[in-house]
Amino acid sequence: MTEPAAETTVGVVAHRSRLRTTAETVLRNRLAVFGLVILVLLVLVALAAPLIAPYTINQVDVANRLQGPSSQHWFGTDELGRDVFSRVIIASRVSLQVGFVSVGIALGLGVPVGLIAGYYGGRIDSILMRLMDILFSIPAIVLAIAILAALGPDIVNAMIAIGVVYTPIFARITRGSVLTLRDAVFVQAARSIGASDLRIIGNHVFPNVIAPIIVQTSLSLAFAILAEAALSFLGLGVQPPNPAWGRMLSEGRAFFQRAPWMAIFPGLAIFATVFAFNALGDGLRDALDPQQRSIIESRGRS
Amino acid sequence: MTGFVVRRIGQMALALLGVSVIVFALIHFVPGDPVRTALGTRFDPDVYEALVRRHGLDRPLVIQYFSWLGSALQGDLGVSFRSGQPVTGLVLERLPATLTLAGAALAVALVVGVPLGVVSAVRSGSKLDYIASAVSQVGVSVPDFWAGIMYILLFSLTLGWLPPSGYVSPLVDFTGWLRHLVLPALAVGLVSGSIIFRFVRSAVLEALNQDYVRMARAKGLSRRAVLFDHVLPNAWIPIVTVVGLQLGFLLGGVVVVEIIFAWPGIGRLAYLAVGDRDFTVLQGSVLYIATMFLVINLVVDLLYAWLDPRVRYD
């Protein structure tokens, strides 16, 4: 009875040292650390937004409309005299929420599909992956627009649409990694002692394919936030009067010449968030999965 | 090779069939009656009846699907719920603008991405590599539509160099056409260029680290000969793939950029159809975009197999 315990200890040690090496490699990458710092700040700002925001998001003050940045209004005011800074930081909550939930949906759907397709192979694999190919063959933003046209413009539907759009990426990456493991000795060993498929997939295969999934998660968060911005720019995401970066950009267009800050600051916020997730994702890839600079990555933006 | 081509075309046909199911199903996900929704306040029982009959919306779904698919295969995508114009015509009208923007943006992307990527990889670790990599990191993170807005702000509204939006046909006014094209092409092209740069750089870096390159150097070949005869031919495959994917994406229409620049392309058509709840137009444009994307992917895969015999036998 001592053997399993010993195995577990070895496993834990190996796991810990891998985690440490990964963390060390990521922390040595200046760009990744920079991304991580921005992200931590962003999350803190999003969490504390109602406390930090100097004004409420819909505090109309027509007398002070379209004012440039000043000590009272750091990012200026919009056409109704609302404080752009307050709206930008409150909107960070929506962007991050949509990002995390939609990537969560993509992970929740894509990873099991990839595990099953890769592990069982054969016809199941063909059917599942052809289905993923079909979803993959409609450019992301167009598919999201089409889904939202059918479901109706709304924040929850936007999360579902973005989640569905990025599902095939996770399915492909997971399947690719599972394929290399299917005939690994430890999988055969587990099979030979009569472990069930569920157990083999859950306890042996999955832990070994996590690295590329983590990398893709960070990169996908960047894409998801861009997608959310594009959809809310088109009026298909968050509905007014709630602020979203993309919406603020599109509203700011009408006042372009008089109040450029209305378009500059929300755009900078999108850029900073996407940049941070990309930088962290790159750093994670260098640490966890140096082989993979996949084609799939380039599809994210389409 | 023939076997590979046939198999690949078969796969594409299958994917296209799947896309057609999704596109067809879209209209039936709409809560309530799509025609009634599309007509909205302009509801007219005669128009309503005519549209329902024209699209066979009173028949069972399966029959509707096959008759829609049959017509689509013959180039008939139905008529717009709004204007009554044939959808195929509406899509084709938008083609020149979309092709122009895609071509110009790809040209920008290639001119920026490929040479810089090769030089960055060859001089990896140099100041140039460092700067180019940092700029590309910014490039892949900037929303293209925000870049577009900033260009308009700078080059049109502040400096007055270029028109802020719109499209003119090159047949009517060539210089005007070119002047309208510059800003949207830069907005989209520089993002694509950053993606291409990153792929070229890593593909060339990888090829540079191969044994045959070390061997070629050991033989005493010049740096130039090593680069052009040994490194680049082996770096082409990932480069072709990423360029193909970018082209597929550009031809599909860059929705938000088209809207910002009032560029009359396919992406804008699809978007306007959503606002109008003009579902046949939406179906038609999405089907066109997906077909474009699949065809480009097919061409890329065939090119890939032609460049690298290993792919054919896989």
CA distance B38 to B93: 22
CA distance A53 to A36: 23
Query: What tokens appear for B25 in the block?
Result: 């199903």
Is the separation of the CB atoms in B145 and A231 below 8 Å? no
- Give the domain range for residue A168: 35-299
Segment A76-93 mean pLDDT: 85
B135-170 pLDDT, tens digit per residue, is: 998 998 999 899 999 999 899 888 889 888 888 888
Q: How does DSSP assign A77-119, residue by residue?
A: B-TT--BHHHHHHHHHHHHHHHHHHHHHHHHHHHHHHHHHHHH
Question: How confident is the model at residue B72, as a pLDDT?
Answer: 85
Q: Which residue has the tokens 């799947």?
A: B18
Residues 193-222 of A with CB under 8 A from B: 222
Question: How confident is the model at residue A20, as a pLDDT?
Answer: 77
**Band (A16; pLDDT cuts 50, 70, 90):** low
**CB within 8 Å: A230 and B31:** no
Q: Is there a cis peptide before residue A241, judged by omega within 30 degrees of 0?
A: yes
Domains of chain B: 88-307 (1.10.3720.10)
Question: How confident is the model at residue A13, as a pLDDT?
Answer: 55
In a domain, residue A79? The reply is yes
**CB within 8 Å: B249 and A302:** yes
B267-306 pLDDT, tens digit per residue, is: 889 888 887 878 889 888 888 888 888 888 888 878 877 7
Taking 60 as the threshold, does the pLDDT of residue A169 lie above it? yes
CA distance A155 to A284: 30
Distances (CA, A) of B299 to B27, B63, B92, B195, B248: 31, 33, 22, 20, 10
Segment A71-83 mean pLDDT: 80
314 residues of chain B, pLDDT tens digit each: 788 888 888 888 888 888 888 888 877 776 667 777 777 777 778 877 877 777 777 778 888 888 888 888 888 888 888 888 899 999 999 988 998 999 999 999 999 999 999 999 888 888 998 899 889 989 989 998 999 999 998 998 888 898 888 888 888 888 888 899 999 999 999 999 998 998 888 888 888 888 888 888 888 888 888 888 888 887 877 788 788 878 887 876 688 899 999 999 998 898 888 878 788 898 888 888 888 888 888 888 788 777 777 666 55
Q: At what angle do helices A261-288 and B127-141 cross, to 10 degrees?
A: 120
Contacts of A31 in chain B (CB under 8 A): 137
In a domain, residue A19? The reply is no
In a domain, residue A163? The reply is yes
**CA dihedral for B232, B237, B238, B239, sign (positive or negative):** positive
Touching check for A186 and chain B: CB below 8 Å? no
**CB within 8 Å: A293 and B198:** yes
CA distance B176 to B164: 12
B57 contact partners, CB below 8 Å, separation of at least 6:
B34, B35, B51, B64
Taking 60 as the threshold, does the pLDDT of residue A238 lie above it? yes
Reduced to 3 states (helix: H, G, I; strand: E, B; else coil), residue A238 is: coil
Touching check for B231 and chain A: CB below 8 Å? no
Taking 90 as the threshold, does the pLDDT of residue A31 lie above it? no
Is the separation of the CB atoms in B167 and B260 below 8 Å? no
Reduced to 3 states (helix: H, G, I; strand: E, B; else coil), residue A181 is: helix
Taking 60 as the threshold, does the pLDDT of residue A156 lie above it? yes
ipTM, two decimals, is 0.82
In a domain, residue A268? The reply is yes
Give the closest residue to A230 by CA, choosing from A150, A301, A136.
A301
- CATH code for the domain in which residue A247 is found: 1.10.3720.10
Question: How confident is the model at residue A37, as a pLDDT?
Answer: 93
Touching check for B31 and chain A: CB below 8 Å? yes
In a domain, residue A9? The reply is no
In a domain, residue A27? The reply is no
**CB within 8 Å: B150 and A226:** no
B311 contact partners, CB below 8 Å, separation of at least 6:
B4, B301, B304, B305
- C-alpha neighbours within 13 Å on the C-beta side of residue B249: 25
In a domain, residue A2? The reply is no
Question: How confident is the model at residue A282, as a pLDDT?
Answer: 82
Contacts of B15 in chain A (CB under 8 A): 130, 133-134, 137
AA identity, residue A174: T
Touching check for B150 and chain A: CB below 8 Å? yes
Instruction: Name the domain count of chain A.
Output: 1
Residue ranges of alpha helices (H) inside chain B are 2-29, 34-39, 45-54, 61-73, 87-122, 127-141, 144-151, 174-208, 211-218, 223-225, 232-251, 255-260, 266-276, 279-307, 309-312
Q: At what angle do helices B279-307 and B87-122 cross, to 10 degrees?
A: 40
**CB within 8 Å: A138 and B289:** yes
Looking at per-residue pLDDT, the higher value among A56 and B110 belongs to: B110
In a domain, residue A46? The reply is yes
